[in-house]
Amino acid sequence: MEKRVRRELRTGRLIQRGDSVAIALSGGKDSLVLTYILGKLFERAKNITLSAITVDEGIAGYRENTIPLAKKICAEFGLEHVIVSFEESFGSTLDQMMRDANKKPCTYCGVLRKYLLNKTARDLGANKLATGHNLDDEAQTILMNFIHADISKLARLIPQKTQKDMVMRIKPLRSIYEKEVVLYALVNNLKVDMEECPYSHEPIRAEIRDFLNEFEHKHPGRKYSILRSLDKLRNCLSTEFPQISLNSCKLCGEPTSGEICQACNLMREMLQK
Partner 1 sequence: MLSLKVRIEMLGSNKQVWEIDVDKGTTYEKLLETIDINPETVIVIRDGFPVPIDDLVEEGEIKLLRVISGG
Contacting residues toward partner 1, per CB under 8 A: 26, 28-30, 136-137, 178-179, 182-183, 186-187, 192-197, 200, 209, 213-214, 216-217
β-strand pairing of 128-130 with 168-170: parallel
Rounded distance between C-alpha atoms, residue 16 and residue 188, angstroms: 26
What is the smallest separation between the CB atom of 260 and partner 1, expressed in angstroms? 27
Nearer to partner 1, 19 or 95 (CB): 95
Question: Are 48 and 126 in contact, with CB atoms under 8 Å apart?
Answer: no
d(CA 162, CA 169): 9
Rounded to an integer, what distance in angstroms lies between the CA atom of residue 130 and that of residue 34? Answer: 8
Nearer to partner 1, 182 or 252 (CB): 182
Nearest-angstrom CA–CA distance, 249 and 254: 5
DSSP SS3 for 41: helix
Q: How far is the CB of 233 from partner 1 (least distance, A)?
A: 24
Q: Closest approach of Cβ 42 to partner 1, in Å?
A: 24
- In angstroms, rounded to a whole number, what is the distance separating the alpha carbons of residues 124 and 83? 12
Q: How far is the CB of 148 from partner 1 (least distance, A)?
A: 19
Nearer to partner 1 by C-beta: 65 or 152? 65
Tell me whether residue 19 or residue 56 sits nearer to partner 1 (CB atom): 56
Q: How far apart are CA 162 and CA 121, in angstroms?
A: 14
- CB 214 → partner 1: shortest distance, Å? 6
Compare residues 202 and 269 and give the one whose CB is closer to partner 1.
Answer: 202
